[in-house]
Structure 1
Amino acid sequence: MTDGTFTGIQPVKEIPANIRDSQEHALTLWPEIRSYIVGLTEVNRVYLVGAGGSLSGLHAAQYFLDRRATTPVTSVNSDEFYYRASPGVGPSALVIAFSAAGMTPETAKAASWAQERGAAVVAVTLNAEGTLAKAINTAFVARNGDGNQILLQLLALAILEREGQNVSAELSALTALPAATETAVRAFEPNAAKIAENMKDVPVTYLVASGSLQGMATTFTSCFLQEMQWMHAATLNANEFFQGPFEVFDKETKSILYLSEDETRPMAERADRFLEEYSGETFRIDSRELELPGIPQELRAFIAPLVFYPIAFRLAAHYAAVRGYSLEGRRYMWQFAY
């Protein structure tokens, strides 16, 4: 593990070979997930709990549930969840605690506290032996982050099915996702190389997004750029962009724009029109341009965030190659107690 010092410009790492395998493995957990959620006695509120990249990784599931579920859903940082101590956390609440590596102490503490309050608590993680999985009774374990994203959406689908909704179309789309992801990620490589080369030295990276892609955008700026590349970066909601941030944009400003296919696309298109006229170069990653064989048109918006996840990893890999900084380097994280 490097300390983050310059390691030299180098060829980009190959696309990981385990993306499809992890997604396919996650799909096999559907019967177990469905049985657990449908079997709950009462659920009148859902809390999605995580920290850092895991918190932003919950966003796609929250967006989907906000659009479809009648059960109220709240997404909250792990420590905020614990210290707020909402009286709604009790026997009729479902808490989904997410920690990819499974070792985030704040998330394990929050999950354990919720279980002690009588809530139904499940973990989504990569580590069956991690502190989160060991802190509670039920954990669904994926093989990598792509699998985690599927598990979160399967939990969302189970919540909808518990409400009496038909989720067969979404399940069918998820079955087609592994092959579609392979196609989309490979097709994205030239665009990833272009963005990284052009954005590698900007003073601040602004990434504008909306809707179901907001979380994936935050993961990229806060985890990949700030945490792993030590770059100044921020994700801007496409409407919040017009509530102040657009004032710092001029013809010298470069930025990245995520365009979704969900209901919030007009927000991103509005930002795109402004950027086209008043800003410098904008690098667009448009969900509509993704090659997603086997995914019906009406389900592309549901699937897109799950594809943007590996795409973000590929974009980060290209940044690491052209900047010469390993994605494993940290200045503070894991280096000492804080």
Structure 2
Amino acid sequence: MKKEHVEQIQKAIKAIEERQIDNIFFVACGGSMASLSTGEYFISKDTAVPAFVYTSNEFIHRSPKALGENSLVILRSHSGETPETVEAASFAREKGALTIAISMEVESPLCQNAEHILHYNYKDGSDVIDGELGIFYTFLFRILKLITGNEKYKRAEKQLENLGSLIEKNQEKFKEAADQFGRKHKREKLIYTMASGVYYHQAYSFTSCLLMEMLWINSNAIHAGEFFHGPFEVTDYDVPFLLVVGEGPSTSLDLRALDFAEKFSDKVEVVDIRELEYDGIDPDLKDYFGSALSGPVLRLYADGLAEHTGHPLSVRRYMWKMEY
């Protein structure tokens, strides 16, 4: 990892150490919120520190009562220019919270509004460890180690060195299946995604940012644990589902939903996280790395749709083109 990134993470962790942190808020919009939700999942699962995820605008308007000088607020915006998130950083500082911004743009308004910056490289030839996944997971593992004292997070940080090669291996492994998915579903106007646990956030990101935003395909992210509490009534032979079977404590929820969906739909595609390559990863750390690997794998399924529909992922109707 580059020296500048090491120093940024060390300064942020030192700031956390020097304050009493009673709760942690993860604040962002869209895909950035989905990525930060991974942090909330593991903080809530592995520690007793209350953690919350907010979309930036609601964070401001709801003004959580627990937000104050003993709060840590972690914000993210890829460009650092998302207006709601920039405002959320200012709002959190006004409440006395410790604010840490994650972005690719150091000089962005978000980074200027936050006390500490975690900058990641983007499309500059850097390897994964200096990219958004490497920076975020290093920071997350440091926080978990700080709170719990558990040595496994030190091992996890060390094993992040394998992340780049694992992404390449797993994308190669799923490349053909993803292309076939695009070929089979190129005429679909609606595709549901389903997952649970930490993978639900990946399903949400895939639904909102890839299917709906980039491909203009109607969709909804269904939590596998909620499938039987309403959504399963839409299941029929011609209704497509992309179902992520996770690696972790909620796998049984995914398998139950999968069993039902495959009985009544002829269009069920499965991305089984348990089939990923985990070379160099300790068995007790698979849950953490599965969540990091699932995003790059799912991206291939959007690429497959883009290829076979002739609809580039870069095309927008409204975003960046008008005031809204």
TM-superposed CA distance for 1:235, in Å, is: 0.9
Matched residue, 1:20: none
* In structure 1, distance between residues paired with 2:112 and 2:288: 32
Could you tell me which of 32, 40, 44 is aligned with 1:66? 44
* In structure 1, distance between residues paired with 2:245 and 2:72: 32
* Aligned: 1:308 with 2:294: yes
TM-superposed CA distance for 1:238, in Å, is: 0.1
Aligned residues: 314
* In structure 2, distance between residues paired with 1:127 and 1:245: 40
Structure 1 consecutive aligned stretches of length 4 or more whose deviation exceeds 6 Å: none
When structure 1 is superposed on structure 2, of 292-301 and 70-79 the one drifting more is 292-301
* Aligned: 1:225 with 2:211: yes
TM-superposed CA distance for 1:162, in Å, is: 2.2
User: Residue type of the partner of 1:161?
Assistant: K
What is the alpha-carbon root mean square deviation over aligned residues? 1.8
* In structure 2, distance between residues paired with 1:213 and 1:298: 17
Can you list the C-alpha shifts for 1:252-303, whole angstroms capped at 9, x where unaligned? 2221110111111000000011012122221100011112221222211110
* In structure 2, distance between residues paired with 1:82 and 1:57: 20
Could you tell me which of 69, 77, 80 is aligned with 1:91? 69
* Aligned: 1:123 with 2:109: no
Matched residue, 2:29: 51
TM-superposed CA distance for 1:208, in Å, is: 0.8
Matched residue, 2:230: 244
Matched residue, 1:33: 9
Could you tell me which of 275, 279, 282 is aligned with 1:289? 275
* In structure 1, distance between residues paired with 2:239 and 2:65: 46
Matched residue, 1:268: 254
Matched residue, 2:110: 132
CA contact (8 A) 1:173 1:303 kept: no
Could you tell me which of 132, 143, 147 is aligned with 1:159? 143
TM-superposed CA distance for 1:212, in Å, is: 0.9
TM-score, normalised via structure 1 length: 0.88
User: Residue type of the partner of 2:56?
Assistant: S
User: Residue type of the partner of 1:48?
Assistant: F
User: Residue type of the partner of 1:327?
Assistant: L
TM-superposed CA distance for 1:116, in Å, is: 2.1
CA contact (8 A) 1:183 1:292 kept: no
TM-score, normalised via structure 2 length: 0.92
CA contact (8 A) 1:256 1:282 kept: yes
When structure 1 is superposed on structure 2, of 60-69 and 161-170 the one drifting more is 161-170
Gaps of at least 5 residues in structure 1 are 1-23
- Flag the 1:201–1:28 CA change in 2: closer, same or farther, 3 A: farther
TM-superposed CA distance for 1:164, in Å, is: 4.0
TM-superposed CA distance for 1:151, in Å, is: 2.6
- SS of residue in 2 equivalent to 1:163: helix
